[in-house]
């Protein structure tokens, strides 16, 4: 019995000594691992550090454990990449819905305006009536977690209806403004306010009153809401006010342009 115990102790000492011989091998950092399948269905993954053809294989496992496998127990041996060094790349974050999409980028848009004249522009029979307008804009948008901002330039043409005048009579205004906009982000809707200012070109041709025009400084103040329709496309509904800032030549007198505008627009985010 003492001889048997001594033999077991000697075997344990030899196993530890053999493992220590390969202590410099770090299985967790090995580029390729040996995968050994045995007859009992076990799978051993590590680095084969020693083999005796037809006799045995010594495989060093993660953590430094050394396993000795008899040759007749081995079914197959293959190589595979170490999963600890080649972990799968994380899945891309899902694209957020609503205003969370495309937090920054260029914006292009177009819109229609129903201009309602006010002040001197709405001067009874000699004034203008409700008139149509079109606009184009381009700019840059930034969105944070709760706020949004946008700046750029816009051009708006309004062709004013002049009551009581022949068909050939006309009055038009062209706004070439720089704008800045601030808004609050929501899941679907984004309320905003906007200030636009710059030069305004006016031209007219009125029967019996001559023709002419001029350039003046002007501005518009707008409040509205943007609806996220589809990915990258917004639909906007807003109300604008054009205050009377500068006078321009008009007929035999001068005129201050004042109006309210009901606007429907769409924008595309690049």
CB of 22 closer than 8 Å to CB of 48: no
- Contact in structure between 57 and 37 (CB atoms under 8 Å): no
Closest CA to 152 of 137, 167, 162, 142: 137
pLDDT in tens, 46-65: 888 888 888 888 888 887 78
Q: What is the pLDDT of residue 185?
A: 82
pTM of the shown model? 0.60
Residue numbers of the chain with a pLDDT score lower than 50: 3-19, 95, 97-101
pLDDT in tens, 200-224: 998 887 766 677 888 889 999 999 9
Q: Which pLDDT score is estimated for 256?
A: 83
pLDDT at 9: 44
Cα–Cα distance for residue pair 51/68, rounded to 1 Å? 9
Q: Is the four-CA dihedral 22, 25, 27, 30 of positive or negative sign?
A: negative
Q: Domain limits of the chain?
A: 2-81, 101-269
Which residue, among 90, 194, 99, 205, has the nearest Cα to 151 in the 3D structure?
Answer: 194
Residue 109 is encoded by which pair of tokens? 């848009």
Residue 133: predicted pLDDT:
93
Q: What is the pLDDT of residue 26?
A: 80
* Residue 6, φ and ψ in degrees, nearest 5: -65, -40
The pLDDT of residue 249: 75
Name the CATH architecture for the domain at 2-81.
Answer: Roll (2.30)
Class for the domain spanning 101-269: mainly beta
Structure tokens at 87: 């972990």
């Amino acid at each position: 019995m003492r001889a048997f115990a001594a033999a077991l102790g000697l075997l344990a000492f030899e196993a530890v000594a053999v493992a220590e011989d390969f202590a410099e091998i770090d299985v967790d950092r090995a580029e390729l691992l040996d995968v050994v399948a045995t007859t009992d269905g076990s799978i051993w993954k590590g680095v084969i550090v020693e083999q005796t053809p037809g006799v045995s294989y010594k495989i060093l496992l993660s953590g430094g454990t050394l396993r000795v496998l008899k040759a007749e127990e081995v079914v197959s041996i293959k190589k595979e990449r170490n999963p600890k060094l080649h972990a799968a790349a994380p899945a891309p974050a899902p694209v957020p819905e609503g205003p969370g999409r495309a937090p920054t980028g260029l914006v292009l848009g177009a819109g229609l305006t129903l201009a309602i004249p006010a002040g001197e522009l709405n001067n009874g029979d000699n004034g203008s009536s409700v008139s149509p307008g079109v606009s184009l804009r381009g700019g840059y948008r930034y969105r944070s977690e709760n706020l949004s901002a946008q700046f750029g330039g816009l051009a708006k043409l309004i062709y004013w209806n002049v009551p009581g005048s022949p068909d050939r009579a006309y009055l038009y205004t062209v706004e070439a403004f720089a704008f800045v906009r601030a808004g609050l982000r929501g899941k679907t809707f984004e309320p905003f306010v906007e200030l636009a200012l710059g030069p305004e070109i006016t031209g007219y041709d009125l029967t019996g009153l001559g023709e002419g025009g001029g350039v003046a400084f002007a501005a518009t103040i707008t409040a509205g809401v943007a609806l996220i329709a589809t990915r990258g496309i917004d639909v906007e509904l807003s109300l604008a006010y054009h205050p009377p800032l500068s006078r321009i030549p008009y007929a035999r007198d001068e005129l201050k342009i004042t109006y309210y505008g009901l606007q429907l627009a769409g924008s595309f985010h690049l």
